[in-house]
A = this chain, B = another copy of it.
Amino acid sequence: MASEDDFLALIDSHFPREHGHVVLGRGDDCAILTMPDALCLSTDLFLEDVHFRRGYFTPAEIGHKALAVNVSDIAAMGGDPLGFSLGLMVPPGLPREFWDALFTGMAAHAAAHGLALTGGDLSRAPLLGFSVTIWGRPFPGRPLLRRGPVQPGDRLVVLGPSGQLGLARQGLRLLEAHDREALADWPACTAAHLMPEPQVAAGRTLAAVQGVHGCMDLSDGLARDLPRLLTFGQAPGLVPGARLELDASMLHPELLAACAAAGLDPVAEAFLGGEDYALLAAVDPAAMPALRHAAAALPAALLDLGEVTAAPGVMLNNTPMTGQGFDHFSKR
């Protein structure tokens, strides 16, 4: 992969150019998109040794996850992801086979969600890295926002794969300790870290229900993301709190086993979490029957974690918590 042209030819072999919302696809100075009314847009970085390691990710898993964490941002708005642009940082020495496998993983995820690759940039760099900007259509008329704002009495729910809370956190810990040998004993934990599935259908379901007062995707874990959801759009001094009940029956059996083997508290680990990529929402209690009914049609579980309280602070199983979750910024 000596030249930019080699890369562009390989990208062309993996990603089709045509798309219903793309007037002008990649190759020109800009792409031109058409959107009926509004467009949602989000940019995320996905960097080697910050967000992933080449040691235990396959190239296809890197390609998948670089895109999936961005699709999750559209899911959190109840939107339809439609396309993305890609800033690709290319370190020296990776063979064509690596890139072919990486684009295969990325293209499979793009195809699964009907996404067009509309352009981007390539640069040599000291590390493998991705900047994906994803765009899509917000939920018609009423996008799902973080700020409803959340109101005291709201139920706090998580919608996503069953037992998702904390699973990727254990996966990361086990992969860091045992590399890919961890996959044999901990398939669910490691898959949650390596191949997260953004919850697009769950986001649309939440957006369609009247009475969802706020929603975000759990990328940094409940401990860090819940305070954000509670704070967003609130007047200073009037930020509500939350009372959560989380027990082992709500967690994945593999998470319980992994925590038992390591002497960790599974409930605390699920609360800290990180990269859960389930959706966290605050829901008017009157809307819960409609949400349960709608969620029953999804390949996702609805977890009722507790309620928003007028009193500030987060109580987990009657114990006050401080936010100390997953922070991509300050540490791995």
Contact = CB atoms under 8 A, between A and B. Distances in A.
Interface string A38-78: 11111111010111000000000000000000000110110
Interface in A119-145: 119-127, 129, 131, 133, 135-136, 138, 143, 145
A76 B45 CA distance: 26
A123 B45 contact: yes
Q: Interface centre among A28, A44, A126, by most B CB within 10 Å?
A: A28
B27 A87 contact: no
A126 B27 CA distance: 30
A131 B43 CA distance: 9
A31 interface: yes
Contacts of A235: none
Interface in A231-259: 232
A28 to B, nearest CB: 5
A28 B77 CA distance: 9
A39 B216 CA distance: 26
Interface stretch (A155-163, A165-173, A307-315, A323-331): A323-331
B119 A45 contact: no
Nearest to A125: B47
Interface string A71-105: 00110110100000111111000000000000000
A2 B217 CA distance: 24
Nearest to A29: B76
Contacts of A123: 45, 47, 50-51, 328-329
Nearest to A215: B29
Contacts of A73: 29-30
B29 A87 contact: no
Nearest to A50: B123
Given A30-B41, A126-B127, A24 B329 contact: no
Interface of A: 2-4, 7, 23-24, 27-35, 37-45, 47, 49-51, 73-74, 76-77, 79, 85-90, 118-127, 129, 131, 133, 135-136, 138, 143, 145-147, 216-217, 232, 327-330
